[in-house]
Structures are given as C-alpha cells and as structure tokens.
Amino acid sequence: MALDAETRDQLIDTVRRFVTERLRPLEAPVAEDDAMPDDVVEEMKGLGLFGLSIPEEYGGLGLSMEDECLVVIEMGRTSPAFRSTFGTNVGIGSQALVMFGTEAQKQKYLPGIASGEIITSFALTEPEAGSDSAAVQTRAVRDGDHYVLNGAKRYITNANKAHLFTVMARTDASKPGAGGVSAFLVPRDTPGLSVGKPEKKMGQQGAHVCDVIFDNVRVPAENLIGAEGEGFKVAMQVLDKGRLHISALCVGVAERLIADSVAYASERKQFGQALTGFQLVQGMIADCKTEALAARALTLETARSRDAGRNVTMEGAAAKYFASEMVGRVADKAVQIFGGAGYITEYGIERFYRDVRIFRIYEGTSQIQQVIIARETMKRGG
C-alpha cells in the first residue's frame, strides 16, 4: 500500500534523523566489534523497520515497493550492516511467506516477523549451488505428514540470529534442475538444525553469514510454501523484489559517499586551493553524481511499475546490475578523491569501499543479472 505524501515524508524524515543522529556515530564501533548493539536493534523494532514490507493486517507497515525503496535509500546513508539487521525480515526472509504462504502460515509467523521478535533467514545457497540456484542438493523426503531434510547451506545472512528459515530443498530427485525444488518454513529450534560460526568477511562487519546444516530435520508438511516443486518459482519471485531493495540500498550508499567526498574536497587544499577547484576532481564528482541519479531513477521507476502490477523481472535485474556496479565505481572514486586519507580507517571511506563489494554478488551476481536482462529482452523482442 502506498502511503499518502505527508505520512511518507514523515517516515523518511524519521529514518533520516535516526541514521544521522543514532547510527552514523556507531559505524566505527560496530565495525570494530563486528556486533550490532542490542539497544539499536530495539530502536529499529520500535521504528517498524522490521515490518516495512509486511502487510498491515499482520502488524507491518505494508509499504509499496516505491516507498520501501525510498526508506532503504535513507538507510543506505550509513554502514550497510545496519540495514542488514532487519533486511532479511523485510526482503528475502519473509517475502516467500507473504507472496505464497497460506493464511494459517501468515497468521502464525508474520506478526512476529513484523515486530522483529522473529528474525528470518533465506537458505538457498549451497557449496555447489550459488548462481546456479536450480542445482540445490539439500534433500527433503516425504515421510507421512512430515518432510525429512538433509543437506547444508552456505553464506546464509543472519543465520546465527534467525528464528525462522525459508529453505529451498529438492523434493523430487528424478527431476533435475528447478522442477524438483520446494520451499519450506523451518523453525530454528527444530531438532537436527545447526548453525555454524559467522564467517570472517571482507566488509559489512556487524552483519553475519553462516553455514546452516540439516541432519534429519523433520518438518511438518504444513510448512511447505506453495505447492511441491514450486520452490524455484518462489525463490525467483522473492529475488525479483529483493533486487529492487538492494538497488535502493546501493543508491543510498552512493549518495552518502558523494556527500562525504564533496565535503572533504571542499576543505582539503592542494596547490593553494580546495580540491573542488580542480577540474579533474570535478570530473570524478560529476561522474559519481550522474550515475547515482541514473540508478535512483531506474530503481524508483521500476518500483512504481512493480506496484502497478507489471512484470519487472528484466527491469529489476537491470536496476540491480546498474546500481551495484555504480556504487562500486563511486566508492573507488571516493577513495581517489580522499587520496591517502581514503586508505586510512579513521575516515571510513575504505570501510565503505569494502562494504559495497558484496552488492555485485548477492541477490544474484552481475553476470546472472546480465543473463536475465538478455533473456527477458529477447523474449520481448527487443
């Protein structure tokens, strides 16, 4: 549901102030400690951030895709780890349930997801199934009124915090590829489910990814999302939406980096004048701003199209591809504008440089987005 203009402006202003006054001062400590303060998480819950995309009837804010993107752009103006704290609840960890769940499943889980009392996680990637999502090897074998899951998932965001996993598992071994995959809701406390230690990562300290192991995990058949064999369809539609969310995040980070670069270049002097007086520096700023504006326009236009009910598989892939590549270029130029200071931890620019690298990988790599864009373009005849 789209908010009226006044309510939307109030929400965006509230999030902007939360980012500026509360989160930005914590960026360095969170990165240093690789942990999110509990009081910050509680404040996020109070603001409704865990329920941005959950329908109002289940306790969420029920934002339209456009409104969600506008809020996420504001969250992008601080370290991405903060957004990741609630990101799976808003996106890939909840949307299979929102889009394909039964009413009983929604009533059972969505209110807790919206409030942040239930943290969700999306378990698709495996040691041998990443970009090739249809190559899932985790098995789910029917046993009476249960399925028994065995297998392992890798690099699962928020797994160590999650209370509920959306798990992709192969229910029909005779069907290779996408046709034999199904989606399940699996509570964290189900016997046989274990979570590995958080991986050490290049960036986004404070946000964690872990392995998830399934050893004869018995899941009630009522926890199947959609029909058996529809898991790949579920995953792809969830990712269509998630890609727009990530696109908006990339825009927000780029806008933060541009603002920081302009502020630094205005104060830093070389050869008797501010860096902003040099045309080659101006050129880098111009490139960054132009690309960020283009990414913002593409992301919001695609979000509006999705809200209107149109298929945006191609446009969503294009937005994610362009925005994630764009923010990488902006981060690189920000380091260049800051010069030696950009390489030093104190200024935070090197941290953002590392943080944004993952955007070209998760929710589908840039190469997978290229495949989707080309495929959908050829389907449409140009």
Please tell me the predicted confidence (pLDDT) of residue 177: 85
Instruction: Please say if the pLDDT value at position 275 is more than 90.
Output: yes
Question: Which H helix or E strand runs over 285?
Answer: helix 279-307
Identify the CA nearest to 126 among candidates 151, 153, 158, 149.
153
How far apart, in whole angstroms, are the C-alpha atoms of residue 338 and residue 203?
Answer: 19
How far apart, in whole angstroms, are the C-alpha atoms of residue 60 and residue 294?
Answer: 31
Pairing state between β 181-187 and 164-170: antiparallel
Instruction: Please say if the pLDDT value at position 38 is more than 80.
Output: yes
Query: pLDDT band at 37, cuts 50/70/90?
Result: very high
Please tell me the predicted confidence (pLDDT) of residue 202: 97
Helical ranges in 101-230 per DSSP H: 103-115
- Find tokens 């969830």 and name the residue: 238
How many residues does the structure list for the chain? 382
- Interval 289-339: pLDDT, tens: 999 999 999 999 999 999 999 999 999 999 999 999 999 999 999 999 999
Average pLDDT of the segment spanning 46-58 = 97
Contact 65, 303 (CB under 8 A): yes
Looking at the annotation, which residues are catalytic?
363
Phi, psi torsion values for 155, nearest 5 degrees: 60, 45
- Interval 158-189: pLDDT, tens: 999 999 999 999 999 888 888 899 999 999 99
Query: pLDDT band at 44, cuts 50/70/90?
Result: very high
Q: Is 210 helix (H, G, I), strand (E, B) or coil?
A: strand
Instruction: Please say if the pLDDT value at position 130 is more than 90.
Output: no
The CA-CA-CA angle for residues 139, 145, 151, to 5°, reads 15
Please tell me the predicted confidence (pLDDT) of residue 176: 82
Query: pLDDT band at 134, cuts 50/70/90?
Result: confident
**C-alpha 196, offset from chain centre:** 21
How far apart, in whole angstroms, are the C-alpha atoms of residue 221 and residue 238?
Answer: 21
Please tell me the predicted confidence (pLDDT) of residue 358: 97
* This prediction's pTM: 0.96
Q: What percent of the chain has pLDDT over 90?
A: 95
Please report, for residues 203, 205, 257, 360, the alpha-carbon distance to residue 34 in angstroms, rounded to integers and kept in the order given.
Answer: 10, 5, 22, 22
Q: Hey, what's the torsion of the CAs at 233, 234, 235, 241, to 10 degrees? A: 110
Average pLDDT of the segment spanning 152-162 = 97
Contact 186, 193 (CB under 8 A): yes
- Find tokens 């009124």 and name the residue: 145
Query: pLDDT band at 3, cuts 50/70/90?
Result: confident
Pairing state between β 181-187 and 224-225: antiparallel
- Find tokens 């969700």 and name the residue: 120
Average pLDDT of the segment spanning 76-92 = 97
DSSP letter for each residue of 25-64: GGHHHHHHHT---HHHHHHHHHHTGGGTTS-GGGTS----
Identify the CA nearest to 77 among candidates 205, 243, 350, 260.
260
The pLDDT mean for the chain works out to 96
How far apart, in whole angstroms, are the C-alpha atoms of residue 214 and residue 151?
Answer: 5
Please tell me the predicted confidence (pLDDT) of residue 195: 98
Please tell me the predicted confidence (pLDDT) of residue 175: 87
State the CB neighbour count (10 A cutoff) for residue 297.
12
Average pLDDT of the segment spanning 233-253 = 95
Query: pLDDT band at 2, cuts 50/70/90?
Result: confident
Average pLDDT of the segment spanning 250-256 = 98
Contact 123, 168 (CB under 8 A): yes
**C-alpha 207, offset from chain centre:** 11
